[in-house]
A and B are shown apart, each in its own frame.
Chain A
Amino acid sequence: MLRFLAELPVRIIAWLSDTLEKTLRFVGRVVGVWGYEDPDSAVGVMAWLRGGIRKGFWAFARLVSYPVAGFLYRGPQRRAFLLSIPFFTAFLGVLAVWLVVAFNNERILNRYLARVQNAYTKQDGKLGVRYATRWIGEPNYANADREFLYSLVQVQAGNPKFAEGILEHLSPEDSTGLGIAHFWRANQCVLSLQSESMGESQRGECLDRFRRHLKRASGVSPGQIAILEALDAYWDGRAADAEARYRAVWEQDPFQSVGFAELLTKLGKEQERMQVLKSGAERVSDRLRTDPSNRGIRYRLADVYEAMGEWGKAEVVYMEGYQINRDSVTSTAYREFLYRRAEAALKEPLQYRELGYCLVRLMRTQGSAQRTQQVLAKGFLRPGQELVQLQRELNQWLVEGLDLPLVHLSLALCKILAGEQASGDWHLEQAYRYEETSRGIAEPMLDYLLDASPSGSEYYERLQTWRDRSAAPPGSRVMLEPF
C-alpha cells in the first residue's frame, strides 16, 4: 500500500501522458493530420473537408505555440514577431480579465450583497441601494430574498413607494412569491379594512385579497400570523374564536396589548380591555426594567399608557428615554408624542387642562415650527366660551408653576384674542421679562394666528387692532398696567 502511494505521482504523470497521446492519435486519425494521404491528390467533398480541418488544426497549433515558437523565427519574421508582442500580451490580458471576472462573478456579487446587508444594519439606506443596484438587474442572482433586502434598503433610503412596488411584485396573487411579502400585503389589507371608508363590494374584495395573502404569509413569527388569523376570525363573525386566538398571542407577548385591547373594544368588552392594558403595562414595565436602554420596549410601554389615556405616565417614559440616549431619535419620538397628546386633547369633549399643558410644552420644545403653529392655532382659535375655559386652565398651570414665561405667553395670546388688549400686553411683558427669547415664539405665532383666522372675523379684527397698536410709536402707547 505504501509503495503504491509512493509511486502514485509517477503513475499520475504516466496516466496523463498516455491519455494525451491517445487523444492526439485519435484526433490525428479523424482529421488525418499525420499525412496518411497526399492532400493534393485527394478528391471529393470529404477529402476537401478533411483538408480544411487539417489546415485549421495546424493553424490552431501554430497559434497556440506562437508565443514560444516566435523566439525561434529568423529575419523579417522574427522582427514582426517581436513587434507583435504588445498585441498578443494585451490581447491575452483582456482575455484573462474577462475570464477571471466571469468565473468569479458570483463571488463578486456576494461581496456586494454583504455590503448591502452591512449598510442595512448601519441604516445607511442610500449606500445600500447603490450597492444593491449592482446585482438587482442580474436575473440569475437577484432571488426573492435578495429583492426583499433591496426593498428594505429602499425604505431606509426614503423611497417607501419603491419598496412597496417591490413587495407587491414579490406577493403576486396568482403564484407563490415570498411569504414575508404576502404578510406585508395582508397587513395592507388589514389597514384598508380598518379604515371603514369602503363600500360593501370593495370590502368583500379586500377581505378575499386579505385571505389569499394570509394563506401564503410566512417568514415572520407565528404570533404575527396568529394575530392576522384572529382578525380574520373577527371579520368572519367568529368573535369568541378571534378573542381566544388573540389572547393566546397576548399571553405569550405583552407587546400585543394595544392590538388586543383594540379588538376587545370592537367586541364591546371595555372592562376586559382595561385589564389587558393594565396587565400589559406591568409586564412590559418588567421587561423595561431589565433593559432600560432598549428603545423598542420603552416605546411599546408608552403606547400602552397612551392607550390607557395615562398621558402623564407615557411622558415620563419618553423623558426617561431622552435622559438615557439624548439623541435625535428620542427627541423625535417625544415630539410626535406631544403632537398625539395635543390632538387627543383637541378631540371632543375638549380637555382644557391637557390642551393648555400640550400648548406650553410644544412651544417650549418645538418653538415656532410650522406644525406647532398649526396645532397652537387649533387650540387658540376656539369659540369664546372655550377660550375662557382654556384661560382658566392656563391660570391654574401658572399657579402650579409650569414654565412661567410660556404660560404667560399663552395667556397673552388668549387675552388678545378675547379682546383684552391691555391684559394681553401685560402677560406678554411678563413673558419677555422672564425670558427675552420668548419674543421669538410670540411674534411668528401672532402672525400665524392672524393668517389662520378668517378675514373679517372677530379674532382677525382683534389681532389686527393689537398689531396696529403694538406697531405704533412708543410715546403714543398706553402704559401697561398689572393684570
Chain B
Amino acid sequence: MGKKVTIALLAIGLAVYVPAILRFYHEIAFGQFWLELGLLVVGFASLVIAGFANRPASRPFAAKDRWAAGVTGILIAALMAMLWGVYSVDTAWVLRGWGMCLSCLIALLAGFSMPRLVQMSVLCFMVPVSLWTFSQDIHWFGQRLSTGLAGSILDLAKIYYFNKGNVIGLVSTDFLETGQCAGIRLLGPLLLIVLTYGFTLQYRWFRVGFLILEALFWIVVWNALRIAYCVWIQDSQTTPIDWNFLLLDMVCLLGTLFLTWSGDQFYAAFTHKEKDGYKEETRPSGLQGSDSMVEGNEKRSSGYVFAAGVILVTIIALGFWGIHRGVWGDAPGFGSLRTSASIEKISFDSSIDGWKITETEGSDESFSPVFRQSSNWSHREWEFTRDGVLQTTMKLRVDGPWLYPPRMGWIWNWFGWKTASLLKDAQGDSSWEVRREIVQEGFVVSRNLSLPQDDRTRAPVVQIALVQEGFRAISEEDRKAQRELFSRLRESIEQQLRASLSVETEH
C-alpha cells in the first residue's frame, strides 16, 4: 500500500513541474546545450538499462528498512534542490530535484538496488553543468593550471611567451591567444561520460571519485597541450591562424577519455587481489549482503514511508505554488536571438558631453568564453576620449546575453588584474578598483542590465562596464566623471535595448 501511494505521489510531483521543465527546455535551446543534455539522457538511460540487467531478487518495499531510508534521504535532497530552484528561479536546480524524483519512481517501479538509485540521482546533478553560476570560477582555476602547464612546455621548447593572467601571448607577435585560453573545453560532457562509465560498470564510490579526479587532471593537461601546440605553430606568424576548433575539441576529448580509461586500468592492476578476483572487486557494495536488507524493522520502515510521503506532498505543493505564481513563465528574449541582435544594434553619437566615441574591434583583452550561456553571445567595446586630456580615456564593454550572469569583474581576473572589493551606489551601479603589474591602475563601474526588469522571471542579462585605466591611482574627480558618464550610457543602452526588443516582439 505504502509503495503504491509513494509511486502515485511521485508521479504527481513529476507532473506538476512540467512548466519548469518546459522553461528549462527554452534555456537549453537558448544556450545550445544539446550535447550535454543528450549525454545526460543517454547516461541516465544506460543506468536504467544496467539497473534492469542487474536487478536484485524481488523484495517487499515496506520490509527494506535501509532502502526506505535511502529513498527518504534522496527525496530530502530533491526537496532542497527544488526549494532553491524555485527561490532563485533557477530551472537547473528544479530539474536536479525532478531528476532525483524520477530516479526514485523508476527504482520503485523496477525494484532497483539502492546503489543504482543513488547513482541515477548523482547523475541527475550533472544537469548542464555550464549553467552552474560559479562555472566561471571553475574554468578560471582550470585555465590557470592549463596555462601554467602550457607555459612550462613552451619554456622547454624555448618558445618565448608571456602571461596576462590566464592568457598566453607570444613575444614574437603582437596579440594574445585568447581563442585557446577561453576556458576548459568540454568539461561538462567529459564528466557526464566518466560518471556514466563508472556507474554503468558499478564501480565503488572511491573508484568513481578517482576516475573523476583523473579525468579533471587529464582535461587540464590536454588543454595545456592544445594551447602549447597552437602557440608553437603561431610563433613568428604575423596574423592569427584560423583553427578548426571542432577537430581540436574532438582530439582533446578522445585523448582525455583514453588516458582516463588507461588510468582506470592502473587502478584495476594496482588494487587487484589474486584470491577475490577482478570481478569480485568491482561488485557493487550495495549488492553484497542483500539478504540482510530483506530483514527489517517494519515500524521503522513505515516511519520512513510516512516521511517520504510528507516530503512528496511538500514537493507537490511547491510545484502547484510555482504554477499559481507563474514563476516559470516564458521570459521575453528566450528561445530567440533577440537580445544578441539588440547588442549588435547598440550605437552612440560620435560624441557625448565632450567625449569622443569610437568603436574598437578586436580588443586585446576580450574573448568569447567557453562558459558563455548562449550560442549567440557577443561582445562590443567603445573607446571614449576627451580631447587634450591624456589621463581621461575610458572603455565601455558590453557583453551578453547571460542567463546566469557571472560575478562582476571576472573578465579582469581572467586577464590578471587584481580586483578590490565591490562597492554599490544608490543607483545600483557597482564599482571597484583594479590593479596589475607594478603601476597599472584602473577603476570600473558596472551593472547587469536585466531585460525586462521583472523580478519574477529570470530574463537574459547584458553586462555593461565602463573602465578607466591609467598609470596612477584614478582620482576621485575622475571617478565621479566616470560614474556620471556611465549613468548616461546605461540609460542610453537600456533605452536602445528595450526599443529593439519591443520592435522585434511586435514583428
Interface 0/1 of A440-481, CB less than 8 Å to B: 000000000000000000000000000000000000000000
**Chain B residues with Cβ under 8 A from A142's Cβ?**
438
Q: Mark B451-470, 1 if CB is under 8 A from A, else 0.
A: 00000000000000000001
Which residues in B have their C-beta under 8 angstroms from that of A62? 270
* Given contact pairs A86-B262, A161-B390, A161-B471, A134 touches B152 in the complex (Cβ within 8 A): no
Partner of B162, one of A63, A77, A130: A130
Q: A143 to B156, alpha carbons, bound, how many Å? A: 25
B57 within 8 A of A: no
Is B439 among interface residues, defined by CB-CB distance under 8 A? yes
Give the residues in chain A near B471, CB-CB below 8 Å. Answer: 161-162, 164-165
Q: Which of B270, B278, B437 makes the CB contact (< 8 A) with A136?
A: B437
A131 lies within 8 A of chain B by Cβ:
yes
Given the complex of chains A and B, what is the CA–CA distance between A79 and B125 in angstroms?
34
Docked-complex contact A133 and B390, CB < 8 angstroms: no
B269 partner, pick from A81, A133, A147, beta carbons under 8 A: A81
Chain A interface residue number, banded: 35 or more
The interface stretch among B59-67, B163-171, B200-208 is B163-171
B149-167 vs A, Cβ < 8 Å mask (1 yes, 0 no): 1011101100011111000
A184: chain B residues within 8 A (beta carbon) = none
Q: Which of A27-35, A87-95, A328-336 contacts B (4 or more CB under 8 A)?
A: A87-95
Query: Which A97-147 residues sit within 8 Å CB-CB of chain B?
Result: 97-98, 100-101, 104, 108, 112, 115, 126-127, 130-131, 133-134, 136-137, 142, 147
Decide: A84 and B272 in contact? CB cutoff 8 A: no
Please name all residues of chain B whose beta carbon is closer than 8 Å to the beta carbon of A115 when the two chains form the complex: 160, 171
**Is residue B416 contacting chain A, with contact meaning CB distance below 8 A?**
yes
The answer to whether B152 and A87 have CB atoms under 8 Å apart is no
Q: Judge if B259 is at the interface, Cβ distance under 8 Å.
A: yes
Binary flags per residue of B119-154, CB closer than 8 Å to A gives 1, else 0: 000000000000000000000000000000101110
Query: Is the beta-carbon distance between A133 and B472 smaller than 8 angstroms?
Result: no
* B263 contacts the other chain (CB 8 A): yes
Are the C-beta atoms of B278 and A76 separated by less than 8 Å?
yes
Instruction: Given A66-B270, A115-B160, A164-B471, verify A101-B152 contact (CB < 8 Å).
Output: yes
Judged by a CB distance under 8 angstroms, whether A20 is at the interface is: no
1/0 contact string of A56-82 vs chain B (CB within 8 Å) = 000000110010001001001110110
| A168 within 8 Å of B (CB atoms) | yes
Q: Given known contacts A130-B162, A166-B438, is B269 in contact with A84 (CB within 8 Å)?
A: yes
Q: A residues touching B (Cβ–Cβ < 8 Å)?
A: 62-63, 66, 70, 73, 76-78, 80-81, 83-88, 90-91, 94, 97-98, 100-101, 104, 108, 112, 115, 126-127, 130-131, 133-134, 136-137, 142, 147, 150, 161-162, 164-166, 168-169
18 A-B residue pairs with CB within 8 Å = A66-B269, A73-B269, A76-B278, A84-B262, A84-B266, A84-B269, A85-B262, A86-B259, A87-B266, A88-B266, A97-B156, A130-B169, A131-B162, A133-B162, A137-B416, A147-B438, A164-B471, A169-B439
- B residues sitting closer than 8 Å to A (CB atoms) are 149, 151-153, 155-156, 160-164, 169, 171, 174, 218, 221, 258-259, 261-263, 265-266, 268-270, 272, 278, 390, 416, 437-440, 470-472
